[in-house]
Structure 1
């Protein structure tokens, strides 16, 4: 079973499409002295103004495999490559005195024998170095999500879902316990409500009519009110000049 899964995974890797996560045309390679202690690397020990190779760098994702390729920027000839694999040491180690330089663990297969070496690598811009590390980080996140999805798929395959549907002839009984004393008012049926007579409505009598006022007196009173209003308006208009002679 394990051999079949390995064979299937290798076939999927061979058929997987290559996705370029990062590409830069200016990358510099340095020969670095072997590390004698467990201390971190320092770029000021390399003489960064004297590089041994200059070319392009690509970060390529192919299935679960991530490849760092150093190629000639004119011909595309491969100079060196490194592999980022799950469960193996990270092939890129930053130096402690700069954010633009790294140590790359390259890999070479000679007649079925894998050999490793360490070289120095640097970028001209800090943004390029940041994007390079971000591409490697994105690939590791992709591997984690893919592993989680595969574990969930295996879990659901090994634990089939339970069928909770009712079979023919089965019934579902619900027991509801009444907690506390609940006083419920009785419902009134529709027939009782229709037969009951509505309660009489008590209306107050209308107010008494006003005293009779002679029509002439009412007109004179209203006329005097209008004359008074017109007089006040004319008095106000006088302040703005006489407009009777205006055309």
Structure 2
């Protein structure tokens, strides 16, 4: 029966055309690894490096430049980790733990002639294991959805909420509407409206002229009320005498 891993395809993460391989001395203590302890001017092998991924495992493969034959490979299940380690004195050199088909392992040193190639190799591994971490988190959430805390939006005991609906409209309605920059004032408290501006005298300092429109208006009022008995009005009498005096002065 075929297993799930047999159906996983292999993706290429990074390819570098040239990498140097060094045989490194065995570790004698926990002291940090230094590339200066290797014979950097005389690499033991030179070839091409490909970084691939199959599922969640990455593989650092060292291949022949021309034939593509596999020289060695290092399976990487986590990074940083024991499969790929950095050195303390340079960013262009790393230590790989290679394995053969019989699961035998050995440690070798690799180095890049260009610092940018070493940077690309480092970033390719980091990006892959960031993706692995996200996949693991999604798997845990799918297996245990109830363990994720849910947001509680219900009201607690004694908790209330106040809604101010329509308050802004009422405020706007109470303000007088203006047209052309002139606002209409509300009616007086007594409920009586003031006469329109046209009925009021617009100029109190203007004196009436003889034979003018004001005189005609007074005559019309007298003729219209001739048939009806009007009550005695001292004001109207004084007004008639005033007009009579004005006529006598104008004729002189």
Pairwise TM-score range, normalised by the shorter structure: 0.5 to 0.7
Aligned to 1:93, what secondary structure does the other structure show? strand
TM-score by length of 2: 0.59
Matched with 2:64 is: 72
Q: Does 1:19 align with 2:25?
A: no
**Alpha-carbon spacing, 1:45–1:178, altered in 2? closer, same or farther (3 Å):** closer
Measured in 2, the distance between the counterparts of 1:47 and 1:121 equals: 11
Measured in 1, the distance between the counterparts of 2:31 and 2:83 equals: 17
Measured in 1, the distance between the counterparts of 2:121 and 2:35 equals: 18
Aligned to 1:133, what secondary structure does the other structure show? helix
TM-score by length of 1: 0.61
Count of residue pairs brought into register by the alignment: 171
How far residue 143 of structure 1 moved from its aligned partner, in angstroms, is 1.1
Which runs of 5 or more residues in structure 1 are unaligned? 1-6, 162-174, 180-197, 214-247
Correspondence for 1:59 among 26, 51, 57: 51
Matched with 1:92 is: 84
Q: Does 1:201 align with 2:196?
A: no
Which structure has the greater CA radius of gyration? Answer: 2
Which runs of 5 or more residues in structure 2 are unaligned? 151-157, 163-186, 210-252
Matched with 2:141 is: 152
Contact 2:16 2:117 in 1 (8 A): yes
Matched with 1:172 is: none
Correspondence for 2:121 among 132, 135, 160: 132
**Alpha-carbon spacing, 1:200–1:117, altered in 2? closer, same or farther (3 Å):** same
Q: What RMSD, in angstroms, separates the aligned Cα atoms of the two structures?
A: 3.3
Measured in 1, the distance between the counterparts of 2:85 and 2:159 equals: 66
Q: Does 1:117 align with 2:106?
A: yes
Aligned to 1:148, what secondary structure does the other structure show? helix
Aligned to 2:126, what secondary structure does the other structure show? helix
